[in-house]
Amino acid sequence: MTLALAPTDRPYLPRGVRLVADRVRGGLVLLAPEKAVALDPVGEAILSRMDGQTSLAALVDQLAAAYDAPRAEIEKDVQAFLQGLRARMFLMVSP
């Protein structure tokens, strides 16, 4: 299966994966089975807007507006980040 998300796909964090504040090191960290992934500002911006209801297209719109950046560029970054999580089974999508 392809890991690429369709514009209408709604990404979500499955059970066992959650976003928490790292009290000791600061920042947000994604906790997943036997893994902890420290997020960079790009990852934080994407995951903190993801609620399981928002589609990929809407996420990209929101980020393009918030960062005043070309939509195509934002979409490329979001796809790359989310596909990386999906390959590790840290992210799932509803159609």
Site of interaction with other proteins (CB under 8 A): 1-3, 14-17, 20, 22-25, 29, 31, 33-36, 86-89
Distances 87 to 1, 5, 27, 90 between C-alpha atoms, Å: 10, 12, 24, 8
Pick from 71, 93, 95: nearest CA to 3 = 93
- Supply the DSSP symbol for 54: S
Closer to other proteins by CB, 69 or 89: give it: 89
Name the minimum Å distance from CB 42 to other proteins.
21
Name the minimum Å distance from CB 87 to other proteins.
6
Closer to other proteins by CB, 34 or 68: give it: 34
Name the minimum Å distance from CB 78 to other proteins.
17
- Supply the DSSP symbol for 14: P
Closer to other proteins by CB, 17 or 50: give it: 17
Backbone angles phi, psi at 11, to 5 degrees: -75, 150
